[in-house]
Amino acid sequence: MKTIRIGAGAGYSGDRIEPAIELAEKGDLDYLVFECLAERTIALAQQARMSDPRGGYDPLLGERMRAVLPICARNGVKIITNMGAANPAGAAQATRDIARALRLSGVRIAAVSGDDVMSWLRENDAPLDNGATFSALGNRVVSANAYIGARPIVEALALGANVVITGRAADPALFMGPLLHEFGWAMDDWTMLGRGTLVGHLLECAGQITGGYFADPGVKDIPGLARLGFPIGEVRADGDLVVTKVAGSGGRVTPQTVKEQLLYEIHDPRAYFQPDVVADFSDVQVDHVGADRVRVSGGKGAPKTRLLKTSVGYVDSYIGEGQISYAGPNAVARGRLALDIVRERLALTGVRMTEARFDLIGVDSLHGPAASRAGDPYEVRVRVAGRAESLAEAARIGAEVETLYTNGPAGGGGAWKSAREIVAVASALVPETAATPIVTIKGE
């Protein structure tokens, strides 16, 4: 039975590059996929494109392509990625320029655009999941991108593309595209589309499934995390998958690492909504079949909803933050006094905040005072953060923390402050007809 090998070269925008190089060199791959978008990432990319119309794609695109393009061209590996973010055409042009500078011939690059649904949302004033409507955001909207499916990736591959660069495609769709192209699955074969979604979901976060997110020393030990190998999916034409990695790379592939990733970010395993299918993982079987080799079988699907999840990025507010450390005997007491001082100072000086946090990192910053344990640590870090309606007002928050240097309590050091604009994300559902994916070939 025909089998193809797909490597996961990145699980997020800033991921390591060396594991992708290792996959391209030693993975015996047919495809190398870089999944680099999150909900806020594309909103920030849209912001960047507003400042520079030639930008708006992943900042590491150039470095990644210079590293892997020559290897992939030599080994016949095709690249699929959503590093196009807010500007797939610009990313494709940049990739073509890199290929030419490296004197690579025969590299055919496709850009997939059409996921921007701002106009549709504006015309239809769609409801958002935060209880507001699109119009209520006014001129604060930065982006509105729908999660499109695998069909345009299949089209690009059918046109002979060696590199396919999308914007906001659904994460599993990046892996589904090659499967549909190679195996000829029909776009209404819900069982195979469900299994293809399973493949994409397991591979999309790269090092998570090879033990990175799994590791917990003394509880779930994973070797070689500094040289963590990224996963390879050996996928058969019937949708069965073997998850593995390059021999000798760090990390581990076990049924346990696979099961953790299987459940990651899944609300209902029987109904995982995707643009191409409603996937059902409830009957999936996970089996150890060799060293760093795990077979995943089963999975099915139901007809798609014909609705697309859309991420709407908007300027929400501004956050000011300040931090300072205390160490030695009585460090926690001095840290709490520092928080009390800043809390009172912000009130005395009239800093206007809509929300604020006063934390001791390492004591109560994640789960609150009720969950903190007995016994004072030898060192703590004070953190004060607040939300404000202007950048100037937000900057006053960190400034008050910085003044603790000389205004007490004793022994503060390593003060740091910042004020920044916050881009928030809301979600909407739009009909699939609201997005019109377009494939453009940038030539060789």
Q: What is the pLDDT of residue 169?
A: 97
d(CA 391, CA 315): 12
- Only one residue has tokens 């191409």, namely 276
The DSSP code for 216 is B
Q: What is the pLDDT of residue 262?
A: 97
d(CA 411, CA 380): 12
What length is written for the chain?
444
Is residue 279 pLDDT above 90, yes or no? yes
Residues 299/405, Cβ–Cβ less than 8 Å? no
If one compares 338 and 265, the residue with the highest pLDDT of the two is: 338
Average pLDDT taken over every residue of the chain = 95
Return the closest-CA partner of residue 204 out of 113, 81, 78, 307.
Answer: 81
Looking from the CA of 292 toward its CB, the CA atoms found within 13 Å total 20
What is the number of other CB atoms lying within 10 angstroms of the CB of residue 279? 28
d(CA 299, CA 24): 29
Per-residue pLDDT band for 220 (boundaries 50, 70, 90) equals: very high
Residues 6+ apart with CB under 8 A from 340: none
pLDDT in tens, 44-95: 888 888 788 888 999 999 999 999 999 999 999 999 999 999 999 999 999 9
pLDDT in tens, 166-191: 999 999 999 999 999 999 999 999 99
Q: What is the pLDDT of residue 294?
A: 98
Is residue 311 pLDDT above 80, yes or no? yes
Average pLDDT over residues 137-151: 95
Q: What is the pLDDT of residue 46?
A: 82
Question: CATH assignment of 312-427, given 3.20.20.70, 3.40.50.2000, 3.40.50.620, 3.30.70.1150?
Answer: 3.30.70.1150
pLDDT in tens, 343-395: 999 999 999 999 999 999 988 877 777 666 656 788 999 999 999 999 999 99
Residues spanned by CATH 3.30.70.1150 within the chain? Answer: 312-427
